[in-house]
Amino acid sequence: MVRALADYFYDYEAFHGVRSRRSGNNIYIELLLEFNGDKKFSDVQDVINRIKNTLEREILRSSVTIIPCTGKFGLI
């Protein structure tokens, strides 16, 4: 997961945390990422989709949710 986040290092501003849980054979991952406030939402959504797809391919049976936020837990 760290490698995937590093690959997209220049596409987000800050990493504010990760939460994960397992249910049966499935893994649920939530990432809290901060994005540049000047970016259009469509650009942010494109980055979110690319990161999500990369992580779900690398981590078998995972479901990744990326939550854009402005601070430690200040959700947008």
**Given pLDDT bands bounded at 50, 70 and 90, which one contains residue 5?**
confident
* Token couple for 29: 């991952």
In a domain, 74, yes or no: no
Distances (CA, A) of 75 to 31, 49, 59, 66: 12, 18, 25, 11
Domain assignment present for 32: yes
**pLDDT score of 75:** 54
Residue 62's domain comprises 2-68
Domain containing residue 17: CATH number: 3.30.70.1350
pLDDT in tens, 7-43: 999 999 999 999 999 999 999 999 999 999 899 999 9
Could you tell me if residue 73 is inside a domain?
no
Is 76 among the domain residues? Answer: no
- Our count of domains for the chain comes to 1
Q: Output the average pLDDT for the chain.
A: 91
Report residue 19 CA to chain centroid gap. Answer: 11
pLDDT value at 61 more than 70: yes
Q: Which residues, listed in sequence order, are joined to residue 1 by a DSSP beta bridge?
A: none
